[in-house]
A and B are shown apart, each in its own frame.
Chain A
């Protein structure tokens, strides 16, 4: 990276460290922090959308829709995350390729499953094998986001389902008495008021989601845990300009600080959000706010 880093063995102290911390490998490590933040930024709203959909379905008056919503919540909440993650990458990927294969290669005359092998025609591969590496990586990342969204969406659905029922029934009855349709009642009365009941549960989920990001590695995405382990491992002089002993402890310490700082910032932000949502609500905290202002 830096011009003076051509012969690291001759350096010592801070100069060595500066060169060491700016190798291409470390840059990939720093980049991985961006990957994790990006994953959170996309997954959180996606999971919330899944959760909202699941909760609305579960509340539905139409029995099959309600079964679908409740089934989704029950199944995903009941299966261990890790099993789900391992199952999903392979199963989801194969399902997509299978459908594309059926659509794109009607003339294919070989079986798709040949013994242990899963073989589809080249046109059906996802991504195409001719696609550049970044497409493959984005696809893997996309699968990860989808898997996280489905898993955390089920928990969010359960939280929102409960929150919707926690809104005082008198509010709904009053809305009906004013002549609002069920749809209007839902949009104007139920949804705006449910967030205050949902937030404690959702903020818990957010914390768990932050801590679950190392599962990315299971999905084949090179995340910060992967790089910390790779960089921290003992390096022998034959294969690197920067030989060192087992430094995994220091790298994991850095991760610990990162995660702690990140969850702390989240806690502060969520506490502020809670204060805002509580404003004017018929809850104990809302009442306290009103009295303090008066």
Chain B
């Protein structure tokens, strides 16, 4: 009897401990506009920051943002340095083996090549991509030589200074850059559909938090606020729910 009571108390204690976690720490990269970036004031800003704050409000969670470089973003999640990842991370099978994802909050979209001229050799030349992304994986499997960089900005810089023939990245990341380049940069070739949309990454053991955020995302999809946010950050062309 005593041991049953004790184990019940332990169960209750651990359940309440999980619920009473008063601050959820949200990891992001802070270098991938418009998804997430650091604004002029030196603060995190972007689609995912606005979305994450809204999700936390709906789930009545107290959230705090943490920036972490892309390379170590998954290792730091699984060692519990923060609790979620919202960093433009596409849902893939390989990642799903290590961490869990919520449903997608950003629909599956296309990745595209950008180069300095129309006749750039993006099929068999040197193509830049950010390390450990689905785009890097795609280039590695293609005929082209892959040139990896630690952050997204450097992949575009590589094309500008001639180290790479083209850069391969998310269309929505490249579009503002191409628009602002005044004709210097252009899209080449056909867009490639990649990945299963972008979702929030969580530890596999954190089922409760996953359910909470899944519900919050569903509610935002249902009342149309997620679509408004997508259009605000990515323009009218963006796929909606």
Query: Which residue on chain B has the smallest CB distance to residue A128?
Result: B23
Contact between chains at A109 and B80 (CB < 8 Å): no
- Say which residue of B43, B69, B78, B176 sits within 8 Å of A239 (CB atoms): B176
Do most interface residues of chain A lie in helix, strand or loop, or is the interface mixed? loop
Docked pose: A93 CA to B43 CA in angstroms: 26
Size of B's binding interface in residues, CB under 8 A? 56
Is B138 engaged at the interface, CB distance under 8 Å to the other chain?
no
A28 to B43, CA, bound (A): 10
In the complex formed, the residue of A with least CB distance to B74 is A116
Contact B43 A236 (CB under 8 A): no
Known: A122-B20, A237-B180. A107 touches B66 (CB 8 A): no
Determine whether the beta carbon of B177 is less than 8 Å from that of A114: no
> Counting CB contacts under 8 A, is B151 at the interface?
yes
Given contacts A93-B81, A108-B14, A110-B14, contact A24 B205 (CB under 8 A): no
Residue A68 is within 8 A (CB to CB) of chain B in the complex: no
| Across-interface contacts of B66 in A (CB, < 8 A) | 136
Interface string of A229-256 (1 = CB under 8 A from B): 1100110111111110010100000000
- Known contacts A23-B42, A129-B21, A237-B180: A119-B151 contact under CB 8 Å: no
> In the complex the two chains form, is A109's CB within 8 Å of B10's CB?
yes
Residue of A nearest to B77 (CB): A117
Across-interface contacts of B204 in A (CB, < 8 A) = 114-117
Find chain B residues with CB under 8 A from A97 CB. Answer: 80
Among candidates A93, A233, A248, residue contacting B79 with C-beta atoms closer than 8 Å = A93
Q: Using known A-B contacts A25-B39, A93-B79, A115-B205, determine if residue A238 contacts B180 with beta carbons closer than 8 Å.
A: yes
Q: Per-residue CB proximity of B40-55 to A under 8 Å, as 1/0? A: 1111011000000000
Please choose the segment from B30-38, B114-122, B123-131, B162-170 that sits at the chain A interface, where 4 or more of its residues have CB less than 8 A away.
Answer: B30-38
Interface of B is mostly: mixed
A28 CB to closest chain B CB (Å) equals: 4
Q: Taking the nearest CB of chain A, how far is it from the CB of B23, in angstroms?
A: 5
Give the Cβ gap from A85 to chain B, nearest Cβ, in Å: 12
Contact B180 A119 (CB under 8 A): no
Which of chain A's residues have a CB closer than 8 A to the CB of B37? 239
A109, A230, A237: the one within 8 Å of B38 (CB)? A230
User: B78–A240 contact, CB under 8 A?
Assistant: no
Contacts of B34 in A (CB 8 A): 238-239
Asked if B11 is at the interface of the complex by the 8 Å CB criterion, the answer is yes
Min CB–CB distance A218 → chain B (angstroms): 9
Are B180 and A90 neighbours in the complex by a CB distance under 8 Å?
Answer: no
* Distance between A173 CB and nearest chain B CB, rounded to angstroms: 55
Question: Which A residues lie within 8 Å of B46 (CB)?
Answer: 239
Taking a contact as CB atoms under 8 Å apart, the answer to whether B203 and A119 are in contact is yes
A94–B153 Cα distance when bound, in Å, is: 32
Check B212 for interface membership: any CB of A closer than 8 A: no
B79 touches A94 (CB 8 A): yes
Residue of B with least CB distance to A129: B23
**B72, B83, B161, B176: the one within 8 Å of A236 (CB):** B176
In the complex, B64 has a CB within 8 A of chain A: yes
| A267 shortest CB reach to chain B, Å | 33
Asked if B42 and A24 make an inter-chain contact with CB atoms under 8 angstroms apart, the answer reads yes
Bound form: Cα–Cα A116–B67 in Å: 21
Give residues 63-98 of B contacting A (CB, 8 Å). Answer: 64, 66-69, 72, 75-76, 78-81, 83, 98
CB-based nearest A residue for B156: A234
Q: Are B75 and A90 interface neighbours, CB within 8 A?
A: yes
Asked if B58 CB lies within 8 Å of chain A CBs, one says no
Q: Determine whether the beta carbon of A236 is less than 8 Å from that of B33.
A: yes
Residue of B nearest to A226 (CB): B69
Q: Which residue of chain A has the shortest Cβ distance to B81 in the bound complex?
A: A93
Assembly CA distance A252 to B180 (angstroms): 24
A48 to B110, CA, bound (A): 55
Residues from 88 to 121 in A contacting B, C-beta threshold 8 Å: 90, 93-94, 97, 107-110, 114-121
Taking a contact as CB atoms under 8 Å apart, the answer to whether B176 and A122 are in contact is no
Instruction: List residues of chain B with CB within 8 A of the CB of A25.
Output: 38-42
Q: A114 to chain B: which residues have CB within 8 Å?
A: 204-205
Show 6 residue pairs from A and B whose CB-CB distance is below 8 angstroms, ordered by the A residue: A28-B42, A90-B76, A93-B81, A108-B14, A130-B23, A230-B30
- 5 more A-B residue pairs beyond the given contacts A23-B41, A239-B33, with a C-beta to C-beta distance below 8 A: A90-B76, A117-B206, A123-B17, A136-B66, A233-B31
